[in-house]
Amino acid sequence: MKKVCIVGPGAIGGMMAVHMQRVGFEVSTLAQPAKVAEIAQRGFKLLDGGQTYTGKPKAATDPRELGVQDLVVVTVKAAGLPWAAEHLAALSRPETQWVFVLNGVPWWFFDGFGGALQGSALKTVDPDGALSRAIPAARVIWGVINCNVAIEADGTLNHVHSNHLQLGHPNGALGGLDAVAAVFRAAGYNTETSAVIREAIWAKLLINMTFNPISVLTMATSDLMLGDAYVRDLAARVVDEGRAVAAALGLPGGPTGAQRFAAAGASPVKAKTSMLADALRGRSLEVAPLIGAVAEIADLCGISVPFTKALYGLIRVRSQTLTP
């Protein structure tokens, strides 16, 4: 694989573009007009591990200007998925690999799941089924990333911590994943392939569904939230509800909420969640995939999740009152 296109290069995608270009891949980016103008003017500047890296990949709003790719990496926020889906065909040949590196529950979650929930549509994340029609699960490689990248006031990307990535197909097949993983490994990512990518999705979700919405409601960084006993207790209760839903789905739930936050609170990292960063930049919030889908799945499973639903309601309303 030589030609790589990053679709929606924000903090995560921008870091990928810089490092992939640095190690010799032919990198391009597909973005909205304002972002294309920004990349054309100054490219990307990345602070990572005490080093400063720069990159200036080709950027366009029309995928036909970029041509057919070997690998397309979609790093848009959930609200941008319909836009990204419109352009995938123009970037692709049949063997082009599509990797989606997004947070939250994906539209395809119950495609091939088996059991009573097999094929269940998630109205919170794909209300009219458009994503399922445009991006069939058979073409999906899903990426679960643990990597905190902040966008500074001047646009500089600051890699704060972690660079772990898990890749998997919805159907659990491992075929073709090694070639894709090799691209990310070459760019410096600690990359694993997984036959159970839903487990990784849910493991990350248990943190995102708590501190992302709470951070916007409080406008606080992670250290402040972890430092308040009542906030930790709320987060722990939401995690435990998420673990109950995981159990109903046959997925591992991992440590209890209290166990997670006791460990995290011992040496808290001062960081903004991705949802808080979006709120501060006037962007739409990923409410539906991070917490709305959990409430919907809980209803499908007959699981009571009152704290999750209360938090979902609050952040859903808060997202409507934020200044664009």
Give the catalytic positions in this structure: 204
Determine the Cα–Cα distance for residues 55 and 63; give it in Å rounded to an integer: 20
On whether the CB atoms of residues 294 and 308 are closer than 8 A, the answer is yes
Residue 147 CA: distances (Å) to CA of 13, 15, 255: 11, 10, 21
Supply 118's token pair.
Answer: 């097999």
Q: What is the DSSP string of 153-201?
A: TTS-EEEEEEEEEEEE-TT---TTHHHHHHHHHHTT-EEEE-S-HHHHH
What burial letters (b/e) apply to 105-122, b meaning 16+ CB within 10 Å? bbbbbbbebeeeeeeebb
The owner of tokens 């200044």 is 323
